[in-house]
Amino acid sequence: MADISFSVNGKAVHASQDEADLPLIDFLQEDLNLTGTKFCCGIGVCRACTVSVRRQPGAPSEPMIACSTPLSSLSGVEVYTVESVAENGKLHPLQQEFLDHFSFQCGYCTPGFLMAAMTLWDRLTDNPIPKDALDKVIDDALKDHICRCTGYIRYYEAVKAAILKQPGMVA
């Protein structure tokens, strides 16, 4: 049987068929030493383990729960983790706004919130929306994520601020 081939943060990776049932989060942490994606509930409810994926090159990114996604479902998929967000030591605007808005306390859920926000960012880069629809779109992108420390308003405000500062995302 052929290996399972996909990419993580732009680099080709391969997993053997023996690992087909292995959850993506285990592969990320144990095989690739990418520990930014957090394991929390283990059943896909809290969303702390959210990563961003593209099912085909050029396709829109979408959030994926890494704790309950088996490697067997990733053939040909591009996976992006929180480690891929900053570039050349420079924070992404979403990361900067998370800091500026004091969005997190313990930070455990932050990678999941950030990756969900990144998929929204990608979507709005390609398809701007009316400004009056922004609150609902942010709510739809983040509403399933659980934060046990700080409440959600700071994450929402940070995402909104980053989007509003970026030209061309809202009309």
Is residue 57 in a domain? yes
pLDDT at 18 over 90: yes
Residues 9 and 63 grouped into a single domain: yes
Residues 120 and 150 grouped into a single domain: yes
What's the pLDDT at 20? 96
pLDDT tens-digit series, residues 92-137:
999 999 999 999 889 999 999 999 999 999 999 999 999 999 999 9
Binned at pLDDT 50, 70 and 90, residue 149 comes out as: confident
| Total domain count, the chain | 2
Is residue 170 in a domain? no
Domain range for 155 is 93-165
Residues 59 and 97 grouped into a single domain: no
- pTM above the 0.85 mark? yes
Residues 20 and 72 grouped into a single domain: yes
CA neighbours closer than 13 Å in the CB half-sphere of residue 157: 11
What's the pLDDT at 120? 98
Is residue 144 in a domain? yes
Is residue 68 in a domain? yes
Burial code of 137-169, b = ≥16 C-beta within 10 A, e = fewer? bbeebbeebebeeeebebbbbbbbbbbeeeeeb
